[in-house]
Amino acid sequence: MHPLFDIDWHGLLVPTVSLLELVLRGSAVYLGVLVLMRVLRRDAGALSTADLLVVVLVADAAQNAMASEYHSITEGGVLVATIFGWNYLLDWLGYRYPRVHALLHPAPLLLVKDGRIQRRNLRAEMLTMSDLKEQLREQGVADVGQVKQCYLEADGRLSVIKQSSEDEPTVERKRAAS
């Protein structure tokens, strides 16, 4: 038979590793990396930590299945399904139970309040003043004094609430206050 059509169907589809072992390995890796990412760093970009983790792990698991790191497509498929299963389960638990949601999604972190920068919170997230000012400029804010509140959201974006015209001190209010 021609080598182009000589396919080892048994090797391609029959697992060589226990499927339960693959589920356990996938679960341990997913949960371990999720915990480390949650403890060591806030979410980055527009993806949540769990979403980013799924993309990375599924890509690796699928790559291993395609590159014969596993001995069958079935093994790669079980690992990919395990990763998606954990992601779905954690999303469902977070939707259903507020405490789980709080564990998976950090609360917004206040960076600016009434025009005053919360330096301790900047240090905690390793953000520099130039990082903050750059992000504020992208939001259309030229001066920190224009900001009533600014939060670092769980997905890494900034939410900016500008001072309203009635919140800004006028010349008359400034004189009355002195």
Instruction: Name the least confident of 26-35, 90-99, 111-120.
Output: 26-35
Q: Is the pLDDT of residue 105 over 80?
A: yes
DSSP bridge pairs for 63 = none
pLDDT at residue 112 tops 70: yes
> What pLDDT is stored for residue 60 in this prediction?
78
pLDDT for the residue 83: 83
Span 41-63, average pLDDT: 67
Per the CB < 8 A criterion, the answer to whether 14 and 72 are in contact is: yes
Q: Is the pLDDT of residue 66 over 90?
A: no
pTM for this structure?
Answer: 0.56
